[in-house]
């Protein structure tokens, strides 16, 4: 079956503008409706164009097709086999060990320039793995457009890409996180063993803080010594003597080292902020779980979960809104009157009743499971 353009030089939309297509390009489309003159209105690359069909198709019918030329006529040849209906990336030869500025391994893909409509040089794209095809190639989604590529074995189901050029081909520098060098089964196994209770039991000899005299700098320092940044410190020649993972190595504390390594894997997989812990010196206050999540506006939200002997379970949310901080304290006991007497510069402090469902933000295994792609479905 074929779809024929209504004009001599290609498909035009309803405003008369020509839709640029590359010979050999594969793309998806759908039938909008059949018009009174017998021609069809179809969706291609986000635009509606008119076309002739040699076989009748119903409204909303989806298809994959390849652009072919018959003399000066542009045609779309319908592709019946699903796996054959996508453009394939060619790996461009690069110098061995090409890396991005942050040290991630990189590979350059070359595609037909129309594969990702609207892509501009310098754009950053998210590539999501849709599935593994029968030939071992991965089907990738970039801004809603699909193509195939050989990216080898993967741990994560998403990658970052930078648009290097759009003419005469589309070139993407695809960046692999250093985590990708690890075995997917090992990563899944270790993340599956992650447990906050075990982490708090095995750590803390170097990272105690006093809640009676606590500042933002104290929190930053405690998080920095949690062990999450140990290897980064080593690579940068920073001091590691106060680091919790360094302690675990020097004291041969295997449970602590393994727990911190699992926490590091969780943080790499989450990729939206930081998950960590705070150890406290006060016996009336439990150790705390901490999670910081970035938002799309350059700010973020911090969640802190802990327990006080007098007010019970407590969940604190600190939301940054420009130069202001919205602090919501939820506790089992009503401390609203107590909070009225606390003044923090550029901050609004509120109280609500503690809700156990808030703790779901620390169910990090669910979030990491969404990022793991080592055992994605095959075609």
Q: Please, are residues 361 and 273 in contact by the beta-carbon 8 Å criterion?
A: no
pLDDT at 96: 45
Per-residue pLDDT tens over the stretch 222-249: 888 888 888 778 767 788 888 888 888 8
Sheet holding 169-176, edge to edge: 90-92, 105-112, 169-176, 158-165, 124-132, 138-142, 145-149
User: What is the distance between the alpha carbons of residues 342 and 226, in angstroms, rounded to a whole number?
Assistant: 29
Complete domains list, the chain, with CATH: 2-84 (2.40.50), 90-180 (no CATH), 184-369 (no CATH)
Q: Which residues make beta-bridge pairs with 317? A: 303, 328
Mean pLDDT of the chain: 80
pLDDT at 369: 61
Per-residue pLDDT tens over the stretch 313-365: 999 999 888 788 899 999 999 999 988 888 778 888 999 999 999 999 888 77
pLDDT at 214: 63
pLDDT at 375: 39
Mean pLDDT, consecutive 10-residue stretches, the chain (379 aa), reads 59 80 89 88 88 83 88 84 90 54 66 89 88 88 91 72 90 72 64 77 65 70 86 78 83 85 82 82 85 79 91 92 87 91 84 94 74 43
pLDDT at 222: 82
pLDDT at 93: 56
User: What is the distance between the alpha carbons of residues 167 and 374, in angstroms, rounded to a whole number?
Assistant: 33
Q: Distances from the Cα of 24 to the Cαs of 69, 90, 173, in angstroms?
A: 9, 14, 23
Q: What percent of the chain has pLDDT over 90?
A: 20
Residues 6+ apart with CB under 8 A from 136: 150
19 alpha carbon, distance to own chain's centre: 32
């Amino acid at each position: 079956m074929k779809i024929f353009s209504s004009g001599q030089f290609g498909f035009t939309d309803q405003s008369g503008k020509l839709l640029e297509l590359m010979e050999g390009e594969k793309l998806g489309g759908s039938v909008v409706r059949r018009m009174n003159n017998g021609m069809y209105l179809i969706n291609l690359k986000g635009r509606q164009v008119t076309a002739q069909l040699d076989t009748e198709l119903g409204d909303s019918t989806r298809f994959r097709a390849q652009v072919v030329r018959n003399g000066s006529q542009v045609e779309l040849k319908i592709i019946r086999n699903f796996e054959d209906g996508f453009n394939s990336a060619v790996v461009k030869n690069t110098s061995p060990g090409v890396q991005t500025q942050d040290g991630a391994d990189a590979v350059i893909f070359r595609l037909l320039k129309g594969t990702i409509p609207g892509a501009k040089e310098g754009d950053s794209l998210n590539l999501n793995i849709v599935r593994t095809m029968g030939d071992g190639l991965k089907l990738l989604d970039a801004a809603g457009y699909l193509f195939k590529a050989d990216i080898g074995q993967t741990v994560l189901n998403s990658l970052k890409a930078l648009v290097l050029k759009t003419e005469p081909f589309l070139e993407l520098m695809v960046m692999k996180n250093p985590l990708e060098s690890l075995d997917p089964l090992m990563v899944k196994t270790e993340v599956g063993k992650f447990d906050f209770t075990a982490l708090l039991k095995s750590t803390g000899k170097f990272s105690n803080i006093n809640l009676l005299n606590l500042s933002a700098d104290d929190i930053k320092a405690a998080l920095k010594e949690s062990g999450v940044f140990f290897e980064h410190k080593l690579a940068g020649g920073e001091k590691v003597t106060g680091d919790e993972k360094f302690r675990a190595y020097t004291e041969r504390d295997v449970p602590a080292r393994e727990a911190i390594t699992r926490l590091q894997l969780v943080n790499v997989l989450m990729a939206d902020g930081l998950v960590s812990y705070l150890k406290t010196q006060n016996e009336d206050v439990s150790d705390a779980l901490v999670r910081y999540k970035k938002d799309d506006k350059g700010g973020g939200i911090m969640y802190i979960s802990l327990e006080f002997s007098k007010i019970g379970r407590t969940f604190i949310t600190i939301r940054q809104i420009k130069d202001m901080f919205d602090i919501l304290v939820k506790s089992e006991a009503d401390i609203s009157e107590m909070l009225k007497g606390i003044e923090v510069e550029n901050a609004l402090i509120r109280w609500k009743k503690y809700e156990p469902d808030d703790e779901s933000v620390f169910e990090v295994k669910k979030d990491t499971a969404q990022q793991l792609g080592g055992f994605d479905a095959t075609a």
